[in-house]
Amino acid sequence: MLRTTPLWQARHPQQSTTEILIPAALILLASASLLLVIGQYTDIDLWLADLYFDVQRHVFPWNNTWFAREFMHGWVKNVLAWSSILLVVTMLADVIFRFRWLTPARRAGLRVLALSAALEPLLIRTIKDNSSLHCPWGVDRYGGAEPFLRLLDSVPDGWHAGHCFPAGHASTGMWLVALAALWLPHAPRKALLALASGLSIGLTLGWVQQMRGQHFLTHTLWTAWLSCALLLALIALFSRHLLAPAAPHTSQPPLIGYPA
């Protein structure tokens, strides 16, 4: 009689890791090259900023609206920030108390999500603090004092750093791309949908900031890229449990060696 081997036994965990991480890394490399070309050799940043700039009054009209300033930059940002804090607290509680309702894969997914919520805004803030690029409102084209500078341009002598790259406000929601980790690898479509949803939220926050003259488009796109790169690094870090094929039900005790 022909003996069939269950799928969970037929696939080695390392194969699942490779099948997800390598294509994702190649996509990130290709998208980084595309972003560099767009930012350096097109005027899409200026074109979009021009759409929201009132030349007659020399202001970005959306900057002081209730929707952009109070709701999106206030209420929405605070909800996302507190949600990230709650996730980190939940992860730390699991480290201490070891919640029995979490499977190894779910535990790894929680840690990827919580670490993304904590590290992604920190990463963006660190880069911003060392960035020379200015926000639209600081560029002379829109009433500021400095000329427009692209990412790969040489920084002139005596340049006053703008500390406006990448987009910080978008990072308050872009960490939600890590929701994809909760469905890897056994529900790739749901994982892709979660990734797209997280990107959509972050890009929406970034777009509102563009309407206010607070960021250029490529500032937001690089925040999205960095968020995805961080997610990929965290998935690789937790791949042994996150990407391992689902094990059959057994009466054996859970793996003790799972790193806390």
- Whether residue 104 is contained in a domain is answered as yes
Stated pTM of the model: 0.86
Closest listed residue to residue 159, CA positions, set 146, 141, 148, 142:
146
Q: Domain span at residue 128?
A: 19-152+161-242
**What is the pLDDT, as a whole number, of residue 16?**
60
Residue 146 forms beta bridges with which residues? 139
How many domains would you assign to the chain?
Answer: 1
Integer Cα distance of 217 and 206 in angstroms: 8
**What is the pLDDT, as a whole number, of residue 12?**
44
Integer Cα distance of 19 and 9 in angstroms: 17
- Whether residue 1 is contained in a domain is answered as no
- Whether residue 7 is contained in a domain is answered as no
- Whether residue 254 is contained in a domain is answered as no
- Whether residue 166 is contained in a domain is answered as yes
> Hey, how many other C-beta atoms are within 10 angstroms of the C-beta on 43?
12
- Whether residue 54 is contained in a domain is answered as yes
pLDDT in tens, 76-97: 999 999 999 999 999 999 999 9
- Whether residue 8 is contained in a domain is answered as no
Q: Taking a C-beta distance cutoff of 8 angstroms, is the pair 174, 219 a contact?
A: no
Integer Cα distance of 239 and 25 in angstroms: 14
Q: Which two tokens stand for residue 146?
A: 């400095």
Residue 59 forms beta bridges with which residues? 54
Is the confidence at residue 258, as pLDDT, over 50?
no
CA dihedral 238, 239, 242, 247 (to 10 degrees): -130
Q: Taking a C-beta distance cutoff of 8 angstroms, is the pair 184, 242 a contact?
A: yes
